Amino acid sequence: MWYSKRFLKTLARGMALPVAVLLAGCAGDDDTIVFRLGHGLNTEHPVHRGMEKLAEELEARTGGEVRIRVFPNEQLGTERECLELVQQGSLSMAKVSSAVFESFQEDYKVYGLPFLFDDGEHMWEVLNGEIGREILESGRERNLLGLCYYDAGARSFYTRRHPIRSPEDLEGLNIRVQQSPMSIQMIRALGGSPTPVSWGELYSALQQGVVDGAENNPPSYHTANHYRVAPYYSLNEHLRLPDVLVIQPGLFDGLSAEHRQAFREALDISVEYQRELWGEAERKALEVAREAGVEVIEFDDLSPFQEKVQELWEEFEGTVVGDLAARIRELRDE
């Protein structure tokens, strides 16, 4: 199995201590419970700031008895590596895209179906409802309990040399994707060549021409400075992949009832706070991009893209993923 150099260095520095003590939840001299949370985003990102809010609220509501230490910027590994560490019991918590979760729990694949949600309102109706809660709980059997969703907006294409105005413009292009089977299938269906690259290495991959483009939301496009090396942003909003906060079930269930309640309250506050930040970040990201000379392409008709990915929908008919998608569509049609 491949691990990033940064991840291996992190483990090497901690070899004098058991990995479980270094990374997972542990008690201090005063019996304070400390959870380690790893993720790949930088400290300016709204999702990171949402998790910092969670840590602040949880510490305040438990009188400092339960704390979270947040490790951003892939300090503990890529999203996939962090999820594996949580699953193995060596890391308390991780924040990952639902796309990364697909390889660990089948239910999360439904979020990878292109054009699943009409808009953000429809997405949050699902995430905050019965379907969203079912999917968070579904990872328990894999030692991966979903605690909440954070807003990761809508993903669109950005490219180095020319804009994407139709699926035909993707033909022959190497497009960066997450290590997600659904994302890989989607890019292939649209005519591009999917190229998995870790988030921390994507800027240089774009700059050096290893990939011709990528797809992500406006705040990530902005805070990672990708707009400087990929100046064409095509807002076709093909995916709305929520971020997921994950914990070892035993760690959460092992808290006292009082501490679990405080945790849930802190989660609710952090989600609302992050969603507010997200709206502001989306507006700022597009404003900064346009001022920097980025050509932002908007669409009146997305049917050419939707028709190209129809085969991906058909592939999951009659499966768990297809059944979840049908239930989501029913909410959309109500």
10-152+241-283 shares its CATH topology with 155-240+293-333: yes
pLDDT in tens, 71-117: 999 999 999 999 999 999 999 999 999 999 999 999 999 999 999 99
> Quick one: average pLDDT of 183-206?
95
pTM: 0.87
pLDDT at residue 328 tops 90: yes
Domain ranges within the chain, ordered by starting residue: 10-152+241-283, 155-240+293-333
CATH assignment, 155-240+293-333:
3.40.190.170
> Quick one: average pLDDT of 163-179?
95
Q: Check residue 18 and give its pLDDT.
A: 38
- Those residues with Cβ within 8 angstroms of residue 155's Cβ, 6 or more apart along the chain or in another chain: 215, 216, 217, 237, 238, 239, 240, 241
Distance of CA 272 to CAs 188, 200, 240, Å?
A: 35, 27, 18
> Of 324, 314, 318, 264, which is closest to residue 105 (Cα–Cα)?
324
| SS3 per-residue string spanning the chain | CCCCHHHHHHHHHCCCCCHHHHHCCEECCCCCEEEEEECCCCCCCHHHHHHHHHHHHHHHHCCCCEEEEEECCCCCCCHHHHHHHHHHCCCCEEEEEHHHHCCCCHHHHHHHCCCCCCCHHHHHHHHCCHHHHHHHHHHHHHCCEEEEEECCCCEEEEECCCCCCCHHHHCCCEEEECCCHHHHHHHHHHCCEEEECCHHHHHHHHHCCCCCEEEECHHHHHHCCHHHCCCEEEEEEEECCCEEEEECHHHHHCCCHHHHHHHHHHHHHHHHHHHHHHHHHHHHHHHHHHHCCCEEECCCCCHHHHHHCHHHHHHCCCCHHHHHHHHHHHHHHC
Average pLDDT, the chain: 91
Q: Check residue 263 and give its pLDDT.
A: 98
Question: What percentage of the chain has pLDDT greater than the value 90?
Answer: 87
**Lowest-confidence segment of 77-91, 177-191, 279-293 by average pLDDT:** 177-191
Q: Check residue 31 and give its pLDDT.
A: 82
**pLDDT confidence of 28, banded at 50, 70, 90?**
low
**Lowest-confidence segment of 22-31, 128-137, 190-199 by average pLDDT:** 22-31
Q: How far apart are CA 115 and CA 235, in angstroms?
A: 13
Q: What CATH class does 10-152+241-283 carry? A: alpha beta
Q: Check residue 179 and give its pLDDT.
A: 81
Q: Check residue 4 and give its pLDDT.
A: 45
